Amino acid sequence: MTTPVQTEADLTTIMKIIPHRYPFLLVDKVRDVVARESAVGIKNVTFNEPHFQGHFPGAPIMPGVTIVEAMAQTAAVLVGLSVGFGERAPLVYFMSIDKAKFRRKVVPGDVLELHVTVKRGSTRIWKFEGVAKVDGQIAAEAEFAAMIDASTQAAE
């Protein structure tokens, strides 16, 4: 009998699956996980994040690249839950980012929903579609691929 996949991940679980930490941990929670299919990450955007000091002073906007990274971190958690990454998960690396579009500013106070769908998943290579939303409006979208490197593991 197989163990059912968790349908959500809190911050403690996220930190067991991916190696990112402050100031580069860009997802606070993952919910609605359907193994090998989809998940929704949640990022509570606050003014205290370091990128807002310079992007832009007086008019803080979350950089598009960090939105795409937040989608990728959500995807890594989805993969980790789907394949059963344990305490020492292998590292996952970006391979490509395609069709990235930015449609709405993301600012402090926003709750960013990171909708990630698996387009293709194998042992090592995974491809995803991501859509980031704020209040139901699309803020960004992209397709991206990642590689699981089982020969390396995140440091403890």
Helix, strand, coil percentages, rounded to 5, for the chain: 20, 40, 40
* Annotated catalytic residue 115: no
- In the numeric block, the tokens 């490509």 are attached to 96
| Sequence-separated (6 or more) residues with CB below 8 Å from residue 1 | none
- Read off the tokens for 132: 């980031």
Q: How far apart are CA 33 and CA 129, in angstroms?
A: 15
The residue from 20, 51, 55, 115 that is catalytic is 55
Residue positions annotated with a catalytic role: 55
